[in-house]
Structure 1
Amino acid sequence: MNTESASATTDATRYDRRTAARILAELSGPELFAAARPGRVRRIEYTATELRPEPDSHLTFSQRLYLERFMRPCQADEVTSATHRMTWTDSAGIPNTGFYRADGLGPLVPIVTRETVLTLWQEMDGNTALAERVSRLDIAARGVLAGTTTDHEPIDIFRVGVESAGRALAQHALLAQQTPYRTAGRFARGLRDSGIFTAVATRWFWELQASTYRRGMIPVSLRTEPDGSMRYTPRTLATLRAMKDATIGDAHRVMRRATAEEGLTVHQAIARYHDDLDLISRQYALLSAREHPSCLAAVTHRVDGANRGVLPVVVDHFVEVFTELIGRCAPVAAPADADNDDTDGAASGQEDRVFYVPDMTCKHCVRTIGGVLESMDIRVEDIDLDTKRVVAEFRSPRNRARAFEALRDGGYNPVVERPGPARSVNRE
């Protein structure tokens, strides 16, 4: 499908990846982040639960199921799994879920990654120059972003990009034993200097990163070069390319069938085949058959006489802040029963209508979670992306338990109670 037919999606939007990348590159400079004050050392309690692989396997049931359904032709021996799932409440009072390996860098990386994400979000929110640049966008530019990106508002796009950088760091930490880096700071700098963030942006596709992250798995192997840098192995590169091609091919087949055989317009096809062409796959369906896409942030443009792209700006600052925050976060293991997500209690009060989904990171997650609940005839009153809070009308405790099971099958980890807030402490 060419971009001309894709532009017919609506009168107000236009699918144009290169123009969207240029718009984001222009918005990101000269400064994307405003300076923030360093905070005090923060004592953050977390609860860790050991993952239970299936018999004669290193993967859990959820990991194996996702591998078989959505990661062809990737094989189980190409996947590294976390050993523990952890939950904690960040400094903004928002519950989170993460993964780590006991033989690697441990729970510090997921926690500091989240604190880095929050810091960069705050810096963007406080950047008046960025807000001014966004306010000057014309209708045509906004139409391109709406037609090409999953999160249409520029600040939301940047926020998701920051979180994606954090996912790349925390997820690759599962492979720390394959690298020469034995501390979190050196590991983060090593990923950056080796170009691994760029490899994720150009080789992976969005849904693969988000879904495997939620399941504590990574389909990657690293090798160390003579100069100490890290690279994906040839097998990894071939597998990632094949998985990406398969995903794009699936989206193209759905769109081709809908438009060529059924005579639907692009807009009608997206509306009818919502489950197949959701907010993410829709972007693949609108690609030219000759285009093999990378993340918009990885595309560089000539802006004000210099080559500019969003990815280096985000990655450099992310690693800088992450390295600084390592010494300001003090993870402390909490008793296992602190992460009580008992779903068998009575569902009679207001508190039983509320739960949290720490893995919910973007509008695609919001739509997916809402779709799962609504498919079970559960009325959804509110889903708040910022606080990870969901309010839904469950018919019974069993109905709620089954809904949570369905969400876990999708890679999400709902929790009923919001953990207590993290505490700031002075450190000698």
Structure 2
Amino acid sequence: MSSDPMPPYDRRTASRILAELARPGLFDTARPGLLDTARATAAAPIAYTATAMRTEPNSHLTLSQRLYLERYMRPCRPDQVTGATHRITWTDSDGIPNTGHVRAGGLGPIVPIAMRETVLALWHSLAEDGALHHRIAGLGDGDRAVLEGSTTDADPIDIFRVGIEATGRALAQHALLSGSTPYRTPAEFACGLRDSGIFAAVATRWYWELQASTYRRGMIPVAFDVQPDRTVRYSAETVATLRAMKDATIADAHAVMHRATTTEGLSVAAAIEKYHDELDLISRQYALLAPGSRPACLAAMPHQVDGGHYTLLPVVVDRFVEVFTAITATLSVAGTPAGTDSGSGELTVDDHLFYVPDMNCKHCVRTITGVLESMRITVGDIDLISKRVVADFRSPRNRHRAFEALRDSGYNPTVLAPVGPRGPGLLPGAAVRTRLPETTR
């Protein structure tokens, strides 16, 4: 049992701290150069591979999708879920392998690929924002303790990075539904989601684990209703189902905490330590919510900052859509044949190294490590930024089975290594580099 005191849990104060750090607005000072850099980066073509999703017999869902639906998405029904038809892999302009999902008849691979490039552009802008780093350095111990106790990624830069990536996930994931919208190009689709308030709906109606895990599996439990003004809204059934799933998740978290603190007599800190994996899966913040209260997205909370009204979420969304639109104006992508990994042959030193493109927060790091260690595979190194993992596989078959276990957990490991500037040689097979049409509808 841990004797360390629990850091203070206060989501509203944590949100205010982030708002004050971001004010007057993230990326504002770097905006002109940010757009120019984004357009220049997108000028080089990106090669990708596409692999058809293997659904179960007589089902539109894969095994991983069905298992996640049954275990963690009650009362959502299979018919309420739209799944991807293809998984794509590519290497981004930072030389990092990535995985995404697309649906035949939709807007195509350009959406997840351009989304990733937008994430990178905004991440780089954060890293170069000296004024932001100065404000972070000036945080007091009390503010840092609140961030540690109220968020998964306690460092402000990490929190902003994860928020930017979550914005991109929302865009790419909803693109699976582009066929049911009036939007016909990637840029029009991004602007349509923004103007319809869909990013805010994700922040307030979804919960973190649902968004991250369904995104990794290429599925979305949402349906759109098109409005007369060409905006889209979640259907009434979607709103009700999202609320019911969130309520079930909160109830699960409270049940774990109640059992630990009453039946077992543990302190809150000891309960979280003992049931770390279970509470982390269903979001520790819900276990700490007061009875009857509902969770709120840190970025969506309004605040009075410097005498004015300020909310972080629309700032991030507006800039994300602006950069995404600039990138899609010049980005070209091309498909290459996919390779295979049968798990045969002999292991080499390099075979202990692989990448998990959809590893995007510290929760992912813990989950991936847990999956491998449950198979008695030692994790030598795991790096969130480069998506790089080094593990002590015992044989090619052991590695193959580990990869399958990670896929069942919603992750898509790849042995594709970063090799520097992107181009036609990054992925196996020859490709004719042609500009994809704005829509493949």
- Matches of residues 222-261 of structure 1 in structure 2 within 5 Å? 222-261=224-263
Is this contact kept in 1: 2:198–2:233, CA < 8 A? yes
CA shift, 1:344, in A, is 2.7
Structure 2 unmatched ranges of 5 or more:
425-432, 436-441
Deviation per residue, 1:87-115 (Å, 9 max, x gap): 00000000000000121101000000000
After superposition, the C-alpha distances for 1:59-100 in whole angstroms (9 at most, x for unaligned) are 111111111111100001110011110000000000000000
Alpha-carbon deviations, 1:118-170, whole Å to 9, x = none? 00000111111111111111000000000000000000000000000000000
* Corresponding residue of 2:44: 42
Query: For each residue in 1:171-227, what CA deviation from the matched residue of structure 2 results, as whole angstroms up to 9, or x when unmatched?
Result: 000000111001000000000000000000000000000000001000000011111
* Structure 1 residue ranges (4+ consecutive) displaced by more than 4 angstroms after TM superposition: 419-422, 424-428
- The structural deviation recorded for 1:343 is 3.0
1:11-410 → structure 2 map (5 Å cutoff): 11=5, 13-33=7-27, 34-35=30-31, 36=34, 37-38=36-37, 39-40=40-41, 41-278=43-280, 281-337=283-339, 340-347=340-347, 349-410=348-409
Q: Secondary structure at the match of 2:276?
A: coil
- C-alpha displacement at 1:375, in angstroms? 1.4
- Where 2:389 maps in the other structure, the secondary structure is strand
After superposition, give the CA deviation of every residue in 1:359-407 in whole Å (9 maximum; x if it has no partner). 1011110011011111111111100111111001112222212211111
Secondary structure at the aligned position of 1:88 is classed as strand
Q: Is the 8 A contact 1:9 1:266 kept in 2?
A: no
User: Shift of residue 420 of structure 1?
Assistant: 5.0
Give the secondary-structure state (helix, strand or coil) at the position aligned to 2:278.
coil
Question: Structure 1 residue 9: deviation in Å?
Answer: 9.2
Q: Counterpart of 2:438? A: none
Tell me the SS of whatever aligns to 2:210. helix
Cα distance in structure 2, aligned partners of 1:92 and 1:210: 22
Describe the SS at the equivalent of 1:170: helix
Q: Which runs of 5+ in 1 are unaligned?
A: 1-7
Cα pair 1:171 1:218 within 8 Å, conserved: yes
Aligned-pair identity in percent equals 63
Stretch moving more, 272-281 or 209-218? 272-281
By how many angstroms is 1:424 displaced?
Answer: 6.6
Q: Compared with structure 1, are the counterparts of its residues 25 and 10 closer, same or farther at alpha carbon in structure 2 (3 Å cutoff)?
A: farther
Q: Say which SS state the counterpart of residue 104 (structure 1) adopts.
A: coil
CA RMSD of aligned residues (A): 1.9
- How far, CA to CA, are the matches of 1:62 and 1:368 in structure 2? 15
Structure 1 residue identity aligned to 2:337: P
Quote the offset at 1:419 in angstroms: 6.0
- CA 1:10–1:26 in 2, change beyond 3 Å: closer, same or farther? farther
CA contact (8 A) 1:214 1:411 kept: yes
Check the 8 A contact 1:270/1:277 in 2, yes or no. yes
Q: State the TM-score, normalizing by the size of structure 1.
A: 0.94
| TM-score normalized with structure 2 length | 0.92
The CA distance in 2 between the partners of 1:31 and 1:280, in whole Å, is 31
Q: Pick which of 34-43 and 85-94 moved more.
A: 34-43
Distance 1:9 1:284 in 2: 22
Structure 1 letter corresponding to 2:106:
G
Q: Counterpart of 1:411 in structure 2: which amino acid?
A: G
- Aligned partners of 1:9, 1:329: CA distance in 2, in Å? 53
CA 1:23–1:230: 2 relative to 1, 3 Å: same
Rounded Cα–Cα distance in structure 2 between residues aligned with 1:408 and 1:247: 23
C-alpha separation in 2, matches of 1:70 and 1:150:
20
Answer whether contact 2:332 2:434 (CA < 8 A) is retained: no
Residues 89, 421 of structure 1: 8 Å contact kept: no
Deviation at 1:52, TM superposition (A): 2.1
CA distance in 2 between counterparts of 1:427 and 1:179 reads 27
CA separation in 2, counterparts of 1:364 and 1:244?
18
Structure 1 stretch displaced more, 270-279 or 235-244: 270-279
State how far apart, in whole Å, the 2-side matches of 1:298 and 1:341 are.
43
Query: 3-state SS of the aligned residue for 2:59?
Result: coil
Contact 1:150–1:280 at 8 Å: present in 2 too? no
1:427 Cα shift?
Answer: 11
For the 8 Å contact 1:215–1:411, the answer to whether it is kept is: yes
| Equivalent position SS for 1:85 | strand
